[in-house]
Amino acid sequence: MPGRKFFVGGNWKMNGDKKSLGALIETLNKASLDPNTEVVCGAPSIYIDFARQKLNDKIGVSAQNCYKVAKGAFTAEISPAMIKDCGASWVILLIGQKVAHALSEGLEVIGCVGETLDEREKGVTEKVVFEQTKAIADNVKDWSKVVIAYEPVWAIGTGKTATPEQAQEIHEKLRVWMKEHISADVASNTRIIYGGSVTAANCKEIAGKADVDGFLVGGASLKPEFVNIINAHQ
């Protein structure tokens, strides 16, 4: 993992209220967190401002989505400018064309890729993941502002987790794809993190794999065990 700082994102998704998130934030603020791990919490848009005000400055805040233009008549959408105005500096994105605007507005991006169970069973995982990564890559000029999250759809919120070997295999192949289609430097330095039912019980083994540079955590990021996942690489 040459020069790649371990990265753990907690994606709160559509969970929590001020009381429960406040308690979680208090736990994180008091915890002894690995100083060599970058930590970012993805708050529901309505709580971005709350999270940024309450969380320790050492912990980043991310939005869970943004729109692809600066402003306009787009009901319920939020712009990178609004996200930054609330003090957040990251956004989690599933759609490649949104990446360029988010980066141009100064946000850093967690770009998510991953196959469905049907696609894995058909043997097209690599094809799907490479196409999704290309959709992100086509919109990126500065890779230092981007983290790629491999999130197999069949492992999100299902309790099923890719084995450490399955995660490593796809992370390694993604890095080879980046070397061939972008550059050796980007392949070597870009963080590729794993997401999909990560828990305190399985995080250390997955973190030990050479091409796994961290996690994007869903349900477990709402529990005290998130601290153990942050410290998985110690």
Angle between helix axes 164-181 and 125-137 (nearest 10 degrees) is 50
**Residue 2 banded pLDDT, cuts 50, 70, 90:** low
Residue 208 contacts residue 234 (beta carbons within 8 Å): no
Q: What torsion do the CA atoms of 214, 220, 226, 232 make, to the nearest 10 degrees? A: -40
Per-residue pLDDT tens digits for 12-69: 999 999 999 999 999 999 999 999 999 999 999 999 999 999 999 999 999 999 999 9
Q: Who contacts 23 (Cβ-Cβ below 8 Å, separation ≥6)?
A: none
Sign of CA dihedral 64, 135, 170, 234: negative
User: Is 1's pLDDT higher than 70?
Assistant: no
Q: Quick one: CATH architecture of 6-230?
A: Alpha-Beta Barrel (3.20)
Question: What is the predicted pLDDT for the residue at 159?
Answer: 86
3 state DSSP class of 216: strand
Per-residue pLDDT tens digits for 53-75: 999 999 999 999 999 999 999 99
CB-based burial, 29-49: b 16+ in 10 Å, e otherwise? eeeebeeebbbbbbbbbebbb
Helices vs strands, H then E, count in the chain: 10, 8
Per-residue pLDDT tens digits for 187-207: 999 999 999 999 999 999 999
Question: What is the predicted pLDDT for the residue at 234?
Answer: 86
Q: What is the mean pLDDT of the chain?
A: 96
What is the C-alpha to C-alpha distance for residues 223 and 21, in angstroms, rounded to an integer?
10
